[in-house]
Amino acid sequence: MSDAVQLPSTILRIPRLGSARSLMNALIGIAALLGVWWFGGFIVENDPDLYAFADFAPAPTLERLWEMIVSGEVLTMSGPSLERVGLGLLFAAAFGVPVGILIGRAPRIHEVTNVPFQFLRMISPLSWMPIAVMAFDTWDGAIVFLIAMAAVWPILFSTAAGVRRIDPAWLKVARNLGARPLHLLGTVILPAIAVDVMQGIRLALGVAWVVLVPAEYLGVTSGLGFAINDARDTLDYSRLAATVVVIGVIGFALDAAIGQLVKKFNWVRATAH
Amino acid sequence: MAMTLTLSDSAAQGTQDAPRRRPAPVGAHVAIKGLSHAYRRHDGKVLDGIDFEIKAGEVVALLGRSGCGKSTLLHMLSGLTHPSEGEVVINGNTIREPSPKWVMMFQAPSLFPWMTVAQNAALGLKFTRRNDQIAKRIPEILDLVDLGAFADRNAQELSGGQQQRVALARSLAPKPEMLLLDEPFSALDAFTRRNLQRDVRQIARDLGLTLVLVTHDVGEAVRMADRVIVLKANPGRVFEDTVITLSEEERSGGSDEFQAEHSRLMNIYSQAADAPGEATETTNDFTQI
Ligand SMILES: Nc1ncnc2c1ncn2[C@@H]1O[C@H](COP(=O)(O)OP(=O)(O)OP(=O)(O)O)[C@@H](O)[C@H]1O
Ligand SMILES: [Mg+2]
């Protein structure tokens, strides 16, 4: 608690306006990112060897981005990607949540499945690519499979951890009050783990969104990954950079939306005891 | 606290003005027959040859030092655990599974933190497909435990004592025949604990419920029970089965009669606690006063 530590923080702090301060800090962060981007563009522009890539700079990119938004191109290219990610997450949750509950409830199943699942989890989802291509008739099917393979582990493990944290007394109380197994599931287990499931889905979305772009380099002719690949092949660098921005913004927005859901499902209140 | 006093004050007045008429007991009659229990991961028997009956509407305290098997015995009464030998017969039927007719209350209230007070209290009715009774019964039962004003609060926003009262309401809502309490007040401050002890005894008597209460607090046993069963440990056996003959006023403490009962019970309790590990059959001298 020395003055040396306290002084800078008192200078930076805008008193009694917590949200205004955090907004301000967020804006500072965004400005810094733009600054670094602009500086990179500035160097590229002034280097004769790199001049061809000058369209990566903020000004041409943002100009192009605006055109793409107005023309509806942003929607056309992100629509299929969102659909693939959504489907992948859906399959991942459809498998991960029930299996996670089983693993969390039955120590035996946990012991049997732990090594295989940890092993599979450590395999980069993209290494399934050749198998996915062989196993699925359509490129879309293969991409959804890859996303699901990436997304299933965080959902499964987070669900199982949530179930293991359930207070055994809740189950005892519920059984004593006449709860049948379906009651236990619907009234105790699912509400208790809703936060953990949402947190798992949030992590899964992060991984799925990362896997999406390389997965869409596969055969398909739509989606954000395809757009990146296509722009590179046609040397359309402002379009490439604008697509990168779109990927970042959508990913950020989805994460923030699920973050809100996590908050909504979180039943823990601040209490004094 | 004021609210708790209102409930119990009116109850206390009832006993002073006229002898309170007790309703015909709806409570369960319990017979414990040759009950013994050994846990898989525990050497030797935890309970050995327990045999006693509990009358309908009786308030019985199981008293004994830590580890003598009180909670184990209570779990068997609730049907949540099965004895290795012997049986528990309630109203003529051997119990094999838990039932909302005999509800257990634990040291921790274990409320469901994502639910309101009213939703917590309604669980028993919901599980037993009596949803149609919720609208009428839950406000009644919350009033009974003085939490009417808290119905729509989140369960976590209540104090420890209030939470324990919600747990009581949750246990009472499905109209049980027997309430099994496992040291439900031990985490509360002395004042709240006294009030709840009085209220719970009063509610059980008013409703005619059988009440079985586990405690290692001699004062609690004297305040609440019609009859105290003192257990000794290693293995858990009945050491003494004794009746508490105090009027409702005397139970609030302070009187000489209370002190006398307290000392008498404390004496038995100490003897039980000091009893040698592998006891002989001489321990069953029933001294009923
Ligand atoms: N699940 C279990 N597995 C193995 N042993 C157990 C188990 N539960 C309790 N025991 C043992 O059985 C004995 C009785 O336990 P019990 O919880 O019934 O005691 P208690 O009288 O309720 O004690 P306390 O007053 O401390 O709550 C103890 O020696 C305990 O170690
Ligand atoms: Mg106990």
The DSSP string of A224-238 is: HHHHHHHHHHTT-HH
- Closest approach of B187 to chain A, Cα-based (Å): 12
Classify domain B26-101+177-277 at the CATH topology level: Rossmann fold (3.40.50)
Taking the C-alpha atoms of residue B247 and residue B252, their distance in angstroms, rounded to an integer, is 9
pLDDT at A272: 55
Q: What is the mean pLDDT of residues B169-190?
A: 88
The verdict on A240 and A124 lying in the same domain is: yes
Residue among A31, A78, A21, A104 nearest A251 (CA): A78
Residues A92 and A191 in one domain: yes
Residues of A in contact with B184 (CB under 8 A): none
Chain A residue at shortest CA distance from B115: A267
Number of compact structural domains in chain A: 2
**Amino acid B25: pLDDT:** 58
Domain shared by A37 and A66, yes or no = no
pLDDT at B285 over 60: no
Determine whether the interchain pair B100/A187 forms a contact, defined as Cβ–Cβ distance below 8 Å.
no
Q: What is the pLDDT of residue B288?
A: 39
Residue whose Cα lies nearest atom 1 of ligand 1: it is B39
Are A41 and A144 found together in one domain?
no
Find the ligand nearest to B277 CA: 1
Please report the pLDDT score of residue A17 as a whole number: 59
| B44: exposed, middle or buried (Cβ count in 10 Å: 0-12, 13-18, 19+) | exposed
| Residues of B in Cβ contact (< 8 Å) with A174 | 123, 127
State if residue B80 touches ligand 1 by the CB under 6 angstroms criterion. no
Residue with tokens 């001049």: A51
Q: Is B241 helix (H, G, I), strand (E, B) or coil?
A: strand
Structure tokens at B253: 């403490």
Proportion of chain A above pLDDT 70, given as a percent: 92
Q: Whose CA is nearest to atom 22 of ligand 1?
A: B71
| b/e burial code for range A205-218 (CB count within 10 A of at least 16 → b) | bbbbbbbbbbbbeb
Instruction: Number of helices (H) and strands (E) in chain B: give both, helices first.
Output: 9, 10
pLDDT digit string, tens, across residues B82-94: 999 999 999 988 9
CB of B235 within 6 A of ligand 1: the answer is no
Tens digits of per-residue pLDDT, A46-101? Answer: 887 777 777 778 888 888 889 888 898 889 899 999 999 999 999 999 999 999 99
Chain B nearest CA to A184, separation (Å) = 9
Looking at the structure, tell me whether residues A75 and A209 fall in a common domain: yes
Q: A19 and A116: one domain?
A: no
Residues of A with CB under 8 A from a CB of B: 167, 169-170, 172-180, 183, 187-188, 191-192, 267-269, 271, 273
Same domain as A93, residue A41: no
Atom 27 (ligand 1) nearest CA = B66
Q: How far is the CA of B44 from the centre of ligand 1 (A)?
A: 12
Q: Residue A206: its pLDDT value, please?
A: 93
Domain co-membership, A142 together with A34:
no
Could you list the residue range(s) of the whole structural domain that residue A183 is in? 52-272
Ligand 1 atom at shortest distance from the alpha carbon of B214? 22
A-B Cβ pairs (cutoff 8 Å, strict): 65
Residue where the block lists tokens 């949402």: A198
Is residue B39 within 6 Å of ligand 1 at its C-beta? yes
Ligand 1 atom at minimum distance from B64 CA? 21
Q: Which of B104, B127, B157 sits opposite A269 (nearest CB)?
A: B157
Burial (CB count <10 Å: 0-12, 13-18, 19+), residue B179: buried
Residues A227-257: pLDDT tens digits?
Answer: 888 888 888 888 888 889 999 999 999 999 9
- Residue of chain A minimizing CA distance to B81: A172
ipTM of this complex: 0.77
For A70, other C-beta atoms within 10 Å of its C-beta total 9
Q: Could you check whether the bond before residue B100 is cis, i.e. omega within 30 degrees of 0?
A: no
Contact A183 B127 (CB under 8 A): yes
Name which residue leads in pLDDT, B42 or A151. Answer: A151
Residues A156, A224 within the same domain: yes
3-state secondary structure A141-159: HHHHHHHHHHHHHHHHHHH
- Closest residue in A to B188 (Cα–Cα): A273
Which percentage of chain B shows pLDDT scores above 70? 87
Diameter over CA atoms, chain A: 79
User: pLDDT category, A10, cuts 50, 70, 90?
Assistant: very low
Please check whether residue A154 is in contact with residue A121, taking contact to mean a CB–CB distance below 8 angstroms: no
- Indicate yes or no: CB of B123 within 8 angstroms of CB of A170: no
Say what the pTM is: 0.78
Are A97 and A118 found together in one domain?
A: yes
Indicate the domain borders of chain B.
Answer: 26-101+177-277, 111-175
- Which of chain B's residues have a Cβ under 8 Å away from the Cβ of A180? 127
Element holding B182 (H helix, E strand): strand B178-182
Closest residue in chain A to residue B163, using alpha carbons only: A273
Q: Nearest C-alpha to atom 7 of ligand 1 is from which residue? A: B39
> Chain A closest CA to B98's CA: distance in Å?
5
Q: Tens of pLDDT along B119-149?
A: 999 999 999 888 888 888 899 889 888 888 9
Contacts of A173 in chain B (CB under 8 A): 104, 106, 110, 170
Q: How far is the CA of B46 from the centre of ligand 2 (A)?
A: 12
Substitution candidate for ligand 1 out of B68, B229, B269 with most atoms within 8 A of CB:
B68
Is pLDDT of A7 > 80? no
The least confident of A21-25, B32-36, B80-84, B285-289 is B285-289
Atom of ligand 1 nearest to the CA of B72: 18
pLDDT tens across B47-71, in order?
Answer: 998 999 999 999 999 999 888 899 9
Question: For ligand 1, is residue B215 a contact (CB within 6 Å)?
Answer: no
Residues A36 and A114 both lie in one domain: no
Instruction: Let me know whether A41 and A172 are in one domain.
Output: no
Shortest-distance ligand to the CA of residue B48: 1
Q: What is the CATH number of the domain that holds A225?
A: 1.10.3720.10
